[in-house]
Amino acid sequence: MKTTKLWTRNFRLVILASAMGIVGAIAGGFALAFLVFDETGSTLASSLIIAIQLLPYLLLPVLIAPFMDRLPRKTFLIAGDIANAVILAGMGLWLLSFEFSYITYLVASLLLACLGAVDKLAFTSIYPELIPKGAEEKGYAVASMLYPILKVIMTPLAAVLLDTLGVAWILILQSFLSLAAALTESLIQLDERERKKRAPYSLQAWVGDIKEAADYLEKERGLRSIYTYMAVANGVAQGFSPILVAFFRTFPGFTVGMYSAFSVVEFIGRSIGSALQYRIKIPDKKKYGFIFFVYQVYEIMDMCLLWLPYPFMLVNRGICGFLGSNSAILRNAAVQRYIPEKLRARVNAFNGVLITAGASIFSLLIGFLGEIMDYRWCVTLGGAIAMLASWLLILGRRKEVRRVYDGQ
C-alpha cells in the first residue's frame, strides 16, 4: 500500500509559521493572565477580559467568511500576522512608558481579538488544502502535537521571563515572532488564482453565500450536534482559566510554578496520544464510540481536578491530555473532510460563532461564581454541565453524529 507523503514544502512552512505564532501566544498569554489578576485581584475582571476578547468571534467570522470562500486565503493570514505584530509592539511600548490601564488593555485586547478571529478562520480553512490527500489524520496529529510541545517548553520559560524581562518585553518579542510568521507564510505556494478571477462581490451575493451555508447546516444535524457540544465543552474550559489562576495564586501550598507544571504532564499525555494517532489508524466504525468515551472520562476528570492532592492533579491532566489529543485529531480530520471545500470557511465561521458564544457565556458565569463560591466547586459544576451536554448532543443524536465520523 502506497504511503502518502505528509511533509511537503507547504506543510513544513505552515507548521513553522504556526509554531512561531504559538510560541509568542503562550508566552504573552501567560504573562498577561497574571498581570491582570495581580493588578485587579478579581477573577471577574479577568473573566470580563476573556469575554471581551471573544466578542469579535461572534461577529467577524460570519461577516468575513463569504469573502474568504472567494478570495485568496493566504493573504488573510499574512496581513493578519503583520497587523498583530504592530499592535503587540504598541502594547509593549505602552507598558514600558506608562502604568497598567485596565481600560486600555481592554481596547487592545479587542483589537487583537478581531485579528485573531480572522486569522483563525483563514488558517482553519486553508490548512486542509496544505495537507496531502490521504494524510489528513496525520496532518492533524502533527498540529495537535505542536501546541503541547511548545507549551511545555514555553510555559516554564514564560514564568522565568515574567520575573526577569517583564510583560512589556515579552509582548515586544511576541511582535517579532508574528512578523517572522508572516514572512514564512508568504513562501507558501498555493494556486488560488481562480479565486481572484471571480465576479465582483455584492451585498446580494454575500446574503446568498450566508444562506447557502445556513441551509447546509440546517440539514446536517450531526454536524450541528458536534458543534454545539464543543461550544459548551470549550466554553466551560475557557471559564476554568481564570479560576485556575486564582486557585494557584491564593490557595495555601500552591504556587505559580506548580500551575505551570500542568503543561508538562499535559504535554506528555498529548504527545503520546498524538504519536499514537500518527502511527495507528482507528477504524471508522469505532471512532464514535471512542469519542464518546473520551468525553465522559474528560468531564469526570475536570469535576474532581481541584479536590485531588497535587500529584494526582498532575496525573489527571496527563490522562486528559492523552485522551483530548486523540479526540481532537479524529474530530478535526472527520469534520473538515466532511464539509464541502467551497463551504468550508462559512461553515467553520458558524462553528466559531457557536464556540465563542459558549466561551463568552461560561467565562462570565464561572468567573462570577468564582466571586461567591469555592473555586473547587466552580470547576466541578462546570464539568457536570459539559457532561450533561455530551449525553444530550452526542449520545442522544448518535446516529447523525456517527455519520460525520464514518464519512458517509
Sole residue written with cell 476528570? 301
Burial class (CB in 10 A: 0-12, 13-18, 19+), 127: buried
pLDDT of residue 393: 92
Q: Which residue has the higher pLDDT, 210 or 275?
A: 210
Q: Which residue has the higher pLDDT, 388 or 361?
A: 388
CA distances from 399 to 284, 339, 389 (A): 14, 18, 16
85-119 burial code (b ≥16 CB/10 A, e <16): bebbbebbebbeeeeeeeeebeebbebbbbbbbbb
- Note if the pTM is more than 0.75: no
Model confidence at 256: pLDDT above 80: no
pLDDT of residue 1: 41
pLDDT in tens, 35-87: 776 767 666 676 677 667 767 777 787 788 777 777 777 888 888 899 989 98
pLDDT of residue 372: 82
Nearest to 66 by CA among 212, 220, 217: 212
Round to whole Å and give the CA distance between 294 and 287.
11
Q: Determine contact, residues 40/236, Cβ cutoff 8 Å.
A: no
- Output the nine-digit C-alpha cell for 378: 466552580
The pLDDT-based confidence of 229 (bands split at 50, 70, 90) is very high
pLDDT in tens, 165-218: 888 888 899 899 999 999 999 898 877 665 555 555 667 777 888 888 888 888
pLDDT of residue 4: 60
Round to whole Å and give the CA distance between 106 and 88.
13
Q: What is the mean pLDDT of residues 356-371?
A: 78
